Structure 1
Amino acid sequence: MSRKPTISDVAQQAGVSKGLVSFVFNGRPGVSAGTRERILTAAAELGWSPNPNARSLTTRTAYALGLVVLRDPTIIGSDPFFPAFISGVESVLADAGRVMVLSVVPDEERELATYRKLAAESRVDGVFLTDLRHADPRISLLDGLGLPAVTLGRPDVPSVFPVIDRDYGHGIDAVVERLRDLGHVRIAHVAGDDRMLHGTRRRDQFAEAVTSRGGEAVVVAADFSPDAGAQATHALLSSENPPTAIVFANDPMAIAGMAVAQELGRRLPDDLSITGMDGSEMSRYLFPPLATVGNDPAEWGRAAARSLLTLIETGASDDVTLPAAAFIPRGSIAPPPTVAPSTR
Structure 2
Amino acid sequence: MMAAARHASRPTLEDLASHAGVSRATASRVVNGSVKVTAEMREAVLRAIDDLGYVPNPAARSLVTQRSDSYALVLTESADRTFSDSTFFPTLVQGVSQELDAAGKELTLEVMNSRHSVERVRRRAAAGHVDGVVVASASGADPVIRTLAGTGVPVVTNGRPSGGRPVPYVDAANADGARLAVRRLVESGRQRVATIAGSPRSAGGVDRLAGYRVEVTGSGREPIVALGDFSRESGAAAMFQLLADAPDVDAVFVASDLMANGALQALRRSGRRVPDDVAVIGFDDTAAAWYAEPALTTVRQPIRDIGRTMARQVLRLAGGDTIEPSVVLETELVVRESA
TM range (shorter): 0.7 to 0.9
The one of 103, 107, 113 equivalent to 1:96 is 103
Using structure 2 for the length normalisation, give the TM-score: 0.73
Per-residue CA shift, 1:98-119, capped at 9, x if unaligned?
A: 2322222245x44642442222
> Which is higher, the Rg of structure 1 or of structure 2?
2
Aligned to 1:60: 66
Letter in 2 for 1:316: T
Residue from 203, 206, 216 that aligns with 2:212: 206
In structure 1, the gaps of 5 or more residues are 1-27, 30-55, 334-344
- Structure 1 equivalent of residue 90 of structure 2: 83
- Taking the aligned partners of 2:98 and 2:301, their CA distance within structure 1 comes to 18
What is the identity, as a one-letter code, of the residue corresponding to 1:329?
A: V
- CA gap 1:285/1:308 in 2 versus in 1, 3 angstroms: same
Q: How many residues matched? A: 279
1:135 and 1:157 in contact (8 A); partners too: no
Cα pair 2:198 2:227 within 8 Å, conserved: yes
Q: Is the contact made by 2:174 and 2:204 (CA closer than 8 Å) also made in structure 1?
A: no
Aligned with 2:286 (options 270, 280, 291) = 280
* 1:68-123 Cα distance to aligned partner (Å, 9 max, x none): 2232322211222111100111111222222322222245x446424422223433
> Is the 1:64–1:123 Cα contact (8 Å) retained in structure 2?
yes
For the structure 1 residues 253 and 156, does the alpha-carbon distance in structure 2 shift closer, same or farther, using more than 3 Å as the test?
A: closer
In structure 2, do the counterparts of structure 1 residues 145 and 329 end up closer, same or farther at CA, with 3 Å as the change threshold?
A: same
Instruction: Give the CA deviation at 1:214.
Output: 0.9
Q: Choose which of 109, 112, 115 in structure 2 pairs with 1:105.
A: 112
Counterpart contact for 2:160–2:204, Cα < 8 Å: no
Structure 1 residues 5-44: aligned runs within 5 Å: none
Which residue does 2:182 correspond to in 1? 176
Partner of 1:321: 327
* Residues 1:110 and 1:202: Cα distance change in structure 2 (over 3 Å): farther
In structure 2, the CA distance between the partners of 1:132 and 1:59, relative to structure 1 (3 Å rule), is farther
- Report the secondary structure of 1:116's partner residue: helix
Unaligned runs of 5+ in 2: 1-33, 36-61
Structure having greater relative contact order (Cα 8 Å, sep ≥ 6): 1
Tell me which amino acid in the other structure corresponds to 1:280. Answer: T
* Identity %, equivalent residues: 32
Q: Which amino acid aligns with 1:237?
A: L
Instruction: Choose from 137, 142, 151 the match for 1:136.
Output: 142
- Provide the TM-score with structure 1 as the length reference: 0.72
Matched, 1:258 2:267: no
How much is the aligned-residue C-alpha RMSD, in angstroms?
2.8
Between the aligned partners of 2:216 and 2:331, the Cα distance in structure 1 is: 18
Give the match for residue 30 of structure 2.
Answer: none
2:277 maps to what in 1? 271
